[in-house]
Structure 1
Amino acid sequence: MPLPWEFRPLRGERITLDPLRDPDDLDALAALQGDPGVCRYLLHEARPRDEVAKILTRDAAATRLDEKDSYLQPAIRDEDGAFIGTMYLNLASLDDRTAEIGWIIAPHAQGRGYATEAARVLLDLAFGELGLHRVYAELDPRNTASVRICERLGMRHEAHHLEHMWLKGEWTDTGHYAILEREWRG
């Protein structure tokens, strides 16, 4: 795995992944992370703007993969360059060449294939230039839109952990999806 790796914009057919821009993306990111509907299946509640501002500063600086648990949190931008969501790639294990992937897409951009396209761009990077062996996603199985994205990406449903964590006042399940480099290339 060629580390360190410095992030640079990645382009798909209709989207671009590029670093979050602090403070330019604050309004759009605050709207996204402050929306209870968007946050329903995430590990956090809707966040106030001041908390999102701190997160933006942290995540805008996450542009280098160099050790275990280093991560990228690029913005997803549409054809016009408008912010429509974020991706996530975390190096879970260097020895095993494994990473976790995730996405959040703004409600107005959902159902148009943007998250799937952005995830494909990131998986091409993961299994190409980064030389990863395995990429996985963990999600709330009630989030059927994210489940469908995993399926469209060819990810295998590996596990369904019942009442896996106490979250937001209830026991929630966790679904685990994954894909190997050889499967991605096939």
Structure 2
Amino acid sequence: MPQQTLHDWQSVPVPAHESLDGQYVRLEPLDPARHGDELWQALQGPDSDPVLWEYLPYGPFSERAGFDAWQSGHAASRDPLFFSVIDLRQQRAVGLLSFLRITPKDGSIEIGHIAFGRAMQRSPASTEAVYLLAKLALGTLGYRRLEWKCNADNARSMRAAERLGFRYEGLFRQHMVVKGRNRDTAWFAILDREWSGCEAAFQRWLAADNFSADGEQKRRLEECRD
């Protein structure tokens, strides 16, 4: 493949740590004072997902003090850049996600550290949370590449990446050691030239008329890319 020349390429901005509004969710900069109680219930409460922390490099947290310290560290970070997911119907924090490996000079950025409470999973809220960050990165700010990486054993994350429109790029074998275990890392990405089709699919899937009165989807997101 011939080398691509970028005659007019310039470094892109670092994402601002500001709220992003959607139909189902609002992303707000992580604020332990405002979101801490709700996130503790969503991510560690009796109705939380027991598999949530399996492939994350931290957690689960047996005590609130450890969880609060973890939140405070992430709230102060600018890479990763953490957002709380606010469910607009419930008006409460139900999950977290972040930008990371933010590289403006190359136009590359990643979405990760995803911790969605059980209520968010397999819902418009989870899809829209990722869409809002993708739209900011690839649409508004002009990044060239949006990455998604996960443990190759994490079948749920692998399926989510492909459903959301990320393309599988390969496997980094013995890439990391996480919680005392080997991690082979699967790499996925959406490129800027692929974004218009992905964005149109997100918009079609998230539209109110794609859901029945009881909230069931009429078309799958993958079908909206056809």
TM class by smaller structure: 0.7 to 0.9
**Residue 78 (structure 1) aligns with:** 87
Query: Are residues 1:39 and 2:50 paired?
Result: no
**Residue 72 (structure 2) aligns with:** 57
Deviates more, 1:41-50 or 1:77-86: 41-50
Alpha carbons of structure 1 residues 9 and 136: separation in structure 2 relative to 1, 3 Å:
same
Cα RMSD (Å): 2.3
Q: 2:141 aligns with which of 91, 115, 130?
A: 130
Q: Output the TM-score relative to the length of structure 2.
A: 0.70
What letter corresponds to residue 91 of structure 2 in structure 1?
A: G
Shift of 1:58: 3.1
Gaps of 5+ in 2: 1-10, 198-226
Percent identity, aligned pairs only, is 32
Structure with bigger strand share is 1
Alpha carbons of structure 1 residues 5 and 44: separation in structure 2 relative to 1, 3 Å:
closer
* Greater RCO structure (CA 8 Å; 6+ sep): 1
CA contact under 8 A between 1:33 and 1:39: conserved in structure 2? no
**Deviation by residue 1:16-60 (Cα, 9 ceiling, x = unmatched):** 101122223222333426875211011223134222212322333
Shift of 1:183: 0.6
Q: Which of the pair has more CA radius of gyration?
A: 2
CA contact under 8 A between 1:29 and 1:52: conserved in structure 2? no
Gaps of 5+ in 1: 65-69
What letter corresponds to residue 71 of structure 2 in structure 1?
A: L
* Counterpart Cα distance in 2 of 1:178 and 1:166: 22
Query: Are residues 1:100 and 2:115 paired?
Result: no
How many residues are aligned here? 180
Alpha carbons of structure 1 residues 12 and 145: separation in structure 2 relative to 1, 3 Å:
farther
* Counterpart Cα distance in 1 of 2:84 and 2:124: 16
Query: Are residues 1:172 and 2:183 paired?
Result: yes
